[in-house]
Homo-oligomer: A and B are copies of this chain.
Amino acid sequence: MALSSKPVPQSTHSLTTTEAAVLALLAINGEQSGYDLLKAANASIGYLWAPAKSQLYAVLPRLVKEGTARRRRIVQERRPDKQLYGITKEGRRRLQTWLETIEPGAFDAFYLRLFVGGLSRPDVLLAHIEQFKEDVEGQLAEYRAVEQRNTRRGHDLFHHFLLRLGIDRAELSLRWAHETLAELRKATG
């Protein structure tokens, strides 16, 4: 009977990207329903993070269970009842930790952290952008090495097309990172 073999109490573990995204929206926009969150997400962060309905409705109860969000039922007469979700103190604490965590190579998480940059101190954001630069530099070096070995004939021709796109994009990202570092420094002193 290998029953109680570690149900894994990961409540103290780091947040997943999805959890962090939802908590950040709750922190910024206040108490909301799943429906509100979906609309808000589509209207702003949607380009970076667009959860499916079913996914969002699955995450919200998990947040409550983990103690990072609380639920409040609003009974309505002419509309279906609402479940309003708000972030808890524990949620804010866990979110801050997540926002300050530097994850090398995690581009999507970086974009998300920058999107909700208003929740972090400027120096934290500068460190994230520096890490992004390093990650992109590494990628760029790899792409250039592969491109040098590319013959441009047969299947290699198509790999060459995509490598060009990857290299150009990486160079663009580096320029963007420099500009953004400068703008952030100017804007925050």
Q: Of A10-18, A72-80, A85-93, A113-121, which stretch is located at the interface?
A: A113-121
Oligomer copy total: 2
Closest to A164 in B: B176
Q: Of A53-61, A63-71, A150-158, which stretch is located at the interface?
A: A150-158
A44 CA to B166 CA, complexed, in Å: 13
Interface residues of A in 171-189 (CB under 8 A from B): 172-173, 176, 179-180, 183-184, 187
Beta-carbon contact of A157 and B116 below 8 Å:
no
* A48 at interface, CB cutoff 8 A: yes
Closest to A158 in B: B117
A residues contacting the other copy or chain, number (CB 8 A) = 31
Interface residues of A in 1-56 (CB under 8 A from B): 28, 44, 47-48
Partner among B114, B116, B162 whose Cβ is within 8 Å of the Cβ of A114: B162
* A165 at interface, CB cutoff 8 A: yes
Closest-CB distance, A76 to chain B (whole angstroms): 29
Question: Can you show 19 pairs from A to B with CB atoms below 8 A apart?
Answer: A44-B159, A114-B161, A114-B162, A115-B158, A115-B159, A115-B162, A116-B155, A117-B155, A117-B158, A118-B154, A118-B155, A118-B157, A161-B180, A161-B183, A164-B176, A164-B179, A165-B176, A168-B172, A169-B172
Query: 7 tightest A-B contacts by CB?
Result: A117-B158, A118-B155, A165-B176, A161-B180, A172-B172, A114-B158, A168-B172
List residues of A whose CB falls within 8 A of some B CB: 28, 44, 47-48, 111, 114-118, 143, 154-155, 157-159, 161-162, 164-166, 168-169, 172-173, 176, 179-180, 183-184, 187
